[in-house]
Each structure stands twice: as structure tokens, then as C-alpha cells.
Amino acid sequence: MALYSDKVMEHFLQPRNVGVIEDADGVGEVGNAKCGDIMKMYLKIDDDIITDVKFETFGCASAIASSSMATELIKGQRVEDAMQLTNKAVAEALDGLPPHKLHCSVLAEEAIQSALEDYNRKKKNA
């Protein structure tokens, strides 16, 4: 069996939503100390709906595919729904990740959580 599913390969080779949102409403950056990979998420939010999302990932193929899939999953969602996104949902949407690569999808979950927390913090202080 191939190590990676077709979906992982597709999102790795043609990642969706790569880039930066200059005037983002929430930004989150997380890293994994063990592998050294870093993921940064930018969210544009209107009326508690995620209208745009972009990411920059310096990492492995699974991290890039996970970021890409995670952005697709939360785009158009309400903030409270996006908060519920789990790495399991990201991995499932990618038709699975090898067990030693599951932490890459955890990074995507954490990056989105961190960007949403940043948004909530800014909203509170506005």
C-alpha cells in the first residue's frame, strides 16, 4: 500500500489557500519541537463567519496537505464550529495519514485554534 493517500498527494502537490492575509482578523502560529515544522494560519472573519483563510507551512508533505485540507474545511464556517475542528477530522478528510504522521494533522488543528483564539482576544479588546 502506498504510504500516502491520493488526497494527501493531491493537497501536497496543489495546496489550497497558500499565502498570507495582510489584514487578517486572527493569526496563529504553532510548531512541533520534535520535527521542527512550523504552521501559520491567517483568518478573515466577518460577523463570526470565516470568509477567508490562508496558510504558510514550513514542513513535511503531511503538514502541507493537512493545512490545505483544514483551510478547506473551515472556510465559510462559523467561528464556534471551526473551534470544534479536530485533527481526526482533518486526517479523515485526507483519507488517512500514516500513524507516525498523525502529529502533522495535530499541527493544523492547533494552528487554527491559535488563530481563532487570537481573533477572540482581539474581539474582546476591541
Residues annotated as part of the active site:
35, 104
Residue number of the CB closest to ligand FES reads 35
How far, in Å, CA of 119 to CA of 101, rounded? Answer: 29
Residue 62 touches ligand FES, criterion: CB under 6 A: yes
Give the cell for residue 109.
Answer: 488543528
Please select the residue that binds ligand FES; options are 63, 73, 90, 97, rule is CB under 6 A: 63
Which CB sits closer to ligand FES, 81 or 98?
Answer: 98
Report the nearest approach of ligand FES to the CB of residue 51 (Å).
27
Q: Does 69 bind ligand FES (CB under 6 A)?
A: no
Name which position in 91, 104, 111, 116 contacts ligand FES (CB under 6 A).
104
- Residues 9-38 binding ligand FES (CB under 6 A) are 32, 35, 37
| Concatenated DSSP letters of the chain | --SS-HHHHHHHHS-SSBS--TT-SEEEEEE-TTT--EEEEEEEEETTEEEEEEEEEES-HHHHHHHHHHHHHHTT-BHHHHTT--HHHHHHHTT---GGGHHHHHHHHHHHHHHHHHHHHHHHH-
Binding window for ligand FES (CB under 6 A); candidates: 1-9, 54-62, 72-80, 114-122: 54-62
As measured in angstroms, the least distance from the Cβ of 121 to ligand FES is 25
